[in-house]
Amino acid sequence: MSVSVDVRDVSKRFRLVHDKYNSLKERVIHAGRIPHEDFWALRDISLQVNEGETVGLLGHNGSGKSTLLKCIAGILQPTRGEIAVRGRVASMLELGAGFSDELSGRANIFLNASLMGMPKREIESKIDDIIEFAEIGPFIDNQVRFYSSRSETRLGFAVAVNMDPHILLVDEVLAVGDENFQRKCIDKIRSFQKEGRTIVFVSHAPDLVRSICDRAYVLDHGKIVGHGSVQDAISILRDFQMAGSSLVNDPNDPLHAKAPVKLSTHHNSAEKRVLISNLEIQGESTGASAPIQSGDSATLRVGYEVVNYVPVEVILGIEILDAKGETVYRGDTATLEMPPLELSAKGNVLVRLSALPLGEGVYSIAVSLIDRHGGTLLDWKSMDNSVKVLCPQKSSGVLALNFSTFVEQEM
């Protein structure tokens, strides 16, 4: 199998300049001593993506995954090292980049496609497909300034997928747009996979990566900290996320502050001392599998099993993500200064969530158990995109908010 993307010892340095001196006068005055800090967004990254593979790049915000994708796309140049990319690349990093408000949708298709390197003749032969895919219809000859941002995104996506790329670079753009369009995007990506095209996929949403990618790399602070099957990569990512979010923040306890996260590329139950055997949520006024009413209290039932029957003290963490994989809530018993839980044998931990203020939509809830002594992640489990919340209000957004108005008139 031949290599499609070959990243060779790539490092990328950003200069964080505290005050930007962009005028001649300032440059002369501050010549040679412009205050700056070097920030290495990527350090010695080497990876290969074979032809026809779908590879995910996982990492939390600031891990460098997007920078790496931009380097592969050629938007950023690596400071050191090089990247060889074989075949035509379509990047969906920023859809509709370079659309000009003043031009019609049709003219913008030409501009955008030629920006991506498509010859004019080819654009002409594909323009009908692009217009159809974008579902813009008769508005294609209107100026783009009159398009909604969704229409603009759709148009950008339509151009990108019709590029007939050998390699597709995707970065979280799927988060934009309505559900219908998201499904269409994912369908398109799957058909690309079937056609044997190479895809590099960057996302926050582990479940999306899980459903699409063959394997994944995990980035943290500009380095590759693990790679393997998607399942392994996601657990590595969880380890890092848990470490970053709850334990490092606790400066009082030196043991916890520098908690070394064990980097296990495989989580098998033999290593674990506690297992989360079951996870379910139930709204107070609704049944077990029914959607939860917004504002209703809910009970999260975490079934656990202590291996070897040695009692452990654990920190319980909860994370709620919205459909796009953005964190809506994250908290754990340690940072919330609640007593640790003592678990032994097996049973359920009941977590009462009072008056869930979530807006209508589908959410993921993840629960993690962390050893209070040593800070290792014992186990985690998530209900990916399966927690439905119904909201009787006609508002939108992840937050269900009650508000009332009153006019206070000044005399």
* Residue ranges that bind other proteins, judged by CB under 8 A: 1-3, 6, 8-9, 14-15, 22-25, 27, 70-89, 91, 93-94, 97-98, 100, 102-103, 107, 110-111, 114-120, 166
Distances (CA, A) of 208 to 216, 233, 262, 326: 12, 13, 25, 12
Backbone angles phi, psi at 65, to 5 degrees: -65, -40
The pairing of strands 215-220 and 223-229 is antiparallel
Nearer of residues 14 and 329 to other proteins, judged by Cβ: 14
Question: What is the Cα–Cα distance from 386 to 52, expressed in whole angstroms?
Answer: 31
Q: Which is nearer to other proteins, 25 or 394 (CB)?
A: 25
CB of 113 to other proteins, least distance (A): 9
Start-to-end CA distance of the chain, whole Å, equals 79
Number of residues in the chain = 411
Cβ of residue 209: shortest distance to other proteins, in angstroms?
Answer: 23
Pick 21 or 329: Cβ nearer other proteins:
21
Q: Report helix, strand or coil for 189.
A: helix
Q: Is 243 exposed, middle or buried, given 0-12, 13-18 or 19+ CB atoms closer than 10 A?
A: buried
403 residue type, one letter: F
Q: Between 82 and 342, whose beta carbon lies closer to other proteins?
A: 82
Q: Which is nearer to other proteins, 9 or 326 (CB)?
A: 9
Neighbouring C-beta atoms of residue 250, cutoff 10 Å: 16
As measured in angstroms, the least distance from the Cβ of 309 to other proteins is 53
Q: How far apart are CA 108 and CA 101, in angstroms?
A: 9
145 vs 266, beta carbon nearer other proteins: 145
Least Å from the CB of residue 41 to other proteins:
10
Based on CB atoms, which residue is closest to other proteins, 9 or 129?
Answer: 9
Count of CB atoms within 10 A of residue 290's CB?
Answer: 12
Question: 10 Å Cβ neighbour count for 323?
Answer: 17
Smallest distance from the beta carbon of 142 to other proteins, in angstroms?
13
DSSP 168: E
Radius of gyration (C-alpha) of the chain in whole angstroms: 25
Residue 197 or 372: the one with the smaller Cβ distance to other proteins is 197
* Least distance in angstroms from the C-beta of 150 to other proteins: 18
For residue 254, the one-letter residue type is P
- In the complex, minimum distance from the CB of residue 129 to other proteins, in angstroms, rounded to a whole number: 19
Q: How far is the CB of 44 from other proteins (least distance, A)?
A: 12
CB 243 within 8 A of CB 261: yes
Q: Please name which of 151, 125, 122, 126 lies closest in space to residue 138, comparing C-alpha atoms.
A: 151
